[in-house]
Amino acid sequence: MPRGMPRGGWRRGGGRAISTGEWRRPGPRVAGWTRDRQAGRIMKQGAARGNGKAVAGAAAGADAGARAGRGARAGSGAGAGTGTGAGAGADPTRDIAFDIVLGVLEHRRMLETGLEQSPAARGADARDRAAAHRLAATVLRRMGTAGMVLEPFLKKEPPLPVRVVLLIGVAQILFLDTPAHAAVGTSVSLARRRGLAPFAGLVNAVLRRVSQAGPAALDGLDQARLDVPPWLWSAWGDLARPVAEALGREAPLDLTLRPGAEPPPGGVGLPGGTVRLPAGTRVAELPGYAEGAFWVQDAAAALPARLLAARPGERIADLCAAPGGKTAQLALAGAAVTAIEREPGRMARLRENLERLGLAGQGVGEQGAGEMGRVATVLGDAAAWRPESPLDAVLLDAPCSATGTARRHPDVLWIKRPRDLAALTEGQDRLLAAARDMLRPGGRLVYAVCSLQPEEGPQRARAAEAMGLRPDPFTPEELAFLPEALTPEGWLRTHPGMWAEQGGMDGFFAARFRRA
């Protein structure tokens, strides 16, 4: 079990635990049961995979109660042939959500990757995939609270896949608008399809108790505190509570518009120039998307490029560029931009975006230099790349823990560990030193990370100073529309609790420097 997940030590009073004796099959224990990693289900130790008897044969049929309460559309066949054993009872939404959440907790696999890799997602339609994404994200967002709700009803820790089924059930009962009987029934069916039939009775009994308790199950719980792993809560200091409260809400869709473009219908303009639409809006369906009138970019993510203040004709490198939101801002300001990206798949996305926005340049090559208002792309390590001649400015949106994006990517809360920070900050310092060496004297650098961790923000700004970069603080005038984000040092610090009444924003740190 990943660190930071709710454990037995969090037990609270009240409720009645379901004892082992109430489980339908006698004696299911964690010991004696083993994961079949390939099939992603629990098997009795010694049972051969593919043997239909492996824990009730990954029972295909849902029980009568589950059928009666089924909220999901059945029979899409998405589970067929996936090893989930789904047949008549196929429920792609919950199957995919199960794969995603288990992938996050067991393998530290990102939510989006889990969605792509879920066998149940193959052939599932867009609506099921979107519903699964929302369900999995809700589980991950509310996992600490859901774990605490389950606590009084569990005498001992169930195997992780069973816990995942229970969390999916609790999320539906308490945080989504699923009727309780459907949430219970579909969870029991999910357990059966996943080879967890011996635990179906436990799932049924526990979730019935949760649904009987209803919202009262949340009474007295400090939900914001519970839903953030303790190491992050401590690291965020005074920001922890406002950030945690904002993490419980789905993030809206933010767009940056090309100069002169019309905002899509329903879009609300924010002070920084971002246009905001409700969470769940599908960007590709908006009028103007295909024509390149706008691109997806959180209100806070739009700030670092804006604060670099690119001027027409300047030669600028965007060092970690994909998917290209900041690159597009720089190019549309009239700069000759070179965008460097290391990952081929992400570079392909960057190029696609630049094509759609009409910003793709011709000079694609190892030492490519962008033309004015156009972008040259370089596939490679930005720490090793050097321009033909010194640059006017560099934007370094460095790879980081991404904890500032936890509203959109709640998986980061459970995937990242404190020990990941050392490698990340080492990489950030390498890129900072490279950025310094690319600049002409007096040239500007904006360093940015979508992280809330002090190691990746203020501590890196100090490291940059120690490398000889001269601080060039942001001014109150530049941040007049968001004064609370300007720190006494002249850095930018945004977090999800800012502009809370308008829907919040991602957590970003940025600092500006000049080469001496």
Q: How would you classify residue 110: left for phi > 0, otherwise alpha for psi between -120 and 50, otherwise beta?
A: beta
Q: Does 349 bind ligand SAM (CB under 6 A)?
A: no
Three-state SS sequence of 330-399: HHHCCCEEEEEECCHHHHHHHHHHHHHHCCECCCCCCCCCCCCCCEEEEECCCCCCCCCCCEEEEEEECC
In sequence order, the β-bridge partners of residue 339 are 318, 377
**Shorter beta-carbon distance to ligand SAM: residue 107 or 346:** 346
| From candidates 399, 404, 410, 507, binder to ligand SAM by CB under 6 A | 399
> In the structure encoding, which two tokens stand for residue 95, read together?
């199957």
**Shorter beta-carbon distance to ligand SAM: residue 54 or 322:** 322
**Shorter beta-carbon distance to ligand SAM: residue 213 or 464:** 464
Stretch that binds ligand SAM, among 40-48, 258-266, 309-317, 320-328 (CB under 6 A): 320-328
> In the structure encoding, which two tokens stand for residue 406, read together?
């936890």
Min. distance of Cβ 347 from ligand SAM in angstroms? Answer: 8
Q: Does 382 bind ligand SAM (CB under 6 A)?
A: yes
Backbone angles phi, psi at 354, to 5 degrees: -65, -40
Stretch that binds ligand SAM, among 124-132, 212-220, 282-290, 321-329 (CB under 6 A): 321-329
Dihedral of the CA atoms 305, 245, 486, 270 (nearest 10)? 50
> Are the C-beta atoms of residues 32 and 45 closer than 8 Å to each other?
yes
Min. distance of Cβ 206 from ligand SAM in angstroms? Answer: 40
Q: Does 136 bind ligand SAM (CB under 6 A)?
A: no
Q: Does 357 bind ligand SAM (CB under 6 A)?
A: no
Catalytic (active site) residue 450: yes
- Is residue 465 annotated as involved in ligand binding? no
Min. distance of Cβ 320 from ligand SAM in angstroms? Answer: 3
- Sheet strands (E) in 40-148: 41-44
Min. distance of Cβ 324 from ligand SAM in angstroms? Answer: 5
How far is Cα 69 from Cα 117, in angstroms, rounded to an integer?
29
- Is residue 503 annotated as involved in ligand binding? no
Min. distance of Cβ 396 from ligand SAM in angstroms? Answer: 9
Q: Give the orientation angle of helix 126-141 with respect to helix 160-170, to 10 degrees.
A: 100
- Sheet strands (E) in 127-274: 253-257, 268-269
How far is Cα 330 from Cα 307, in angstroms, rounded to an integer?
10
Q: Which of 109, 3, 164 is CA-nearest to residue 411?
A: 109
3-state secondary structure of 316: strand
| From candidates 324, 387, 443, 457, binder to ligand SAM by CB under 6 A | 324
Q: Does 340 bind ligand SAM (CB under 6 A)?
A: yes
Peptide bond into 323 cis (omega under 30): yes
Subset of residues 48 to 67 that bind ligand SAM, contact rule: CB under 6 A = none
Min. distance of Cβ 394 from ligand SAM in angstroms? Answer: 12
**Shorter beta-carbon distance to ligand SAM: residue 172 or 338:** 338
- Is residue 324 annotated as involved in ligand binding? yes
Residues 6+ positions from 275 with CB-CB distance below 8 Å: 254, 255, 256, 257, 263, 264, 267, 268, 269, 294
Which runs of consecutive H residues, i.e. helices, occur in 142-193?
A: 143-150, 160-170, 180-193
| From candidates 326, 351, 409, 515, binder to ligand SAM by CB under 6 A | 326
Subset of residues 248 to 307 that bind ligand SAM, contact rule: CB under 6 A = 301
Read off the DSSP letter of residue 279. T
**Shorter beta-carbon distance to ligand SAM: residue 34 or 459:** 459
Q: Does 341 bind ligand SAM (CB under 6 A)?
A: yes
Q: Does 397 bind ligand SAM (CB under 6 A)?
A: yes
Closest residue by beta carbon to ligand SAM: 320
Min. distance of Cβ 433 from ligand SAM in angstroms? Answer: 12
N-to-C CA span, the chain = 49
| From candidates 58, 100, 149, 322, binder to ligand SAM by CB under 6 A | 322
* Size of site (CB under 6 A) for ligand SAM: 18
> Are the C-beta atoms of residues 496 and 507 closer than 8 Å to each other?
yes
| From candidates 129, 276, 342, 493, binder to ligand SAM by CB under 6 A | 342
| From candidates 85, 114, 185, 325, binder to ligand SAM by CB under 6 A | 325
> Are the C-beta atoms of residues 288 and 492 closer than 8 Å to each other?
no
In sequence order, the β-bridge partners of residue 377 are 339
Q: Which of 450, 469, 482, 492 is flagged as catalytic?
A: 450
Q: Does 320 bind ligand SAM (CB under 6 A)?
A: yes
Q: Does 89 bind ligand SAM (CB under 6 A)?
A: no
**Shorter beta-carbon distance to ligand SAM: residue 165 or 320:** 320
Residues making contact with ligand SAM (CB under 6 A):
301, 320-326, 340-343, 346, 381-383, 397, 399
Binding site for S-adenosyl-L-methionine: which residues?
320-326, 341, 397
Binding site: which residues?
320-326, 341, 397
Q: Which residue numbers are catalytic?
A: 450
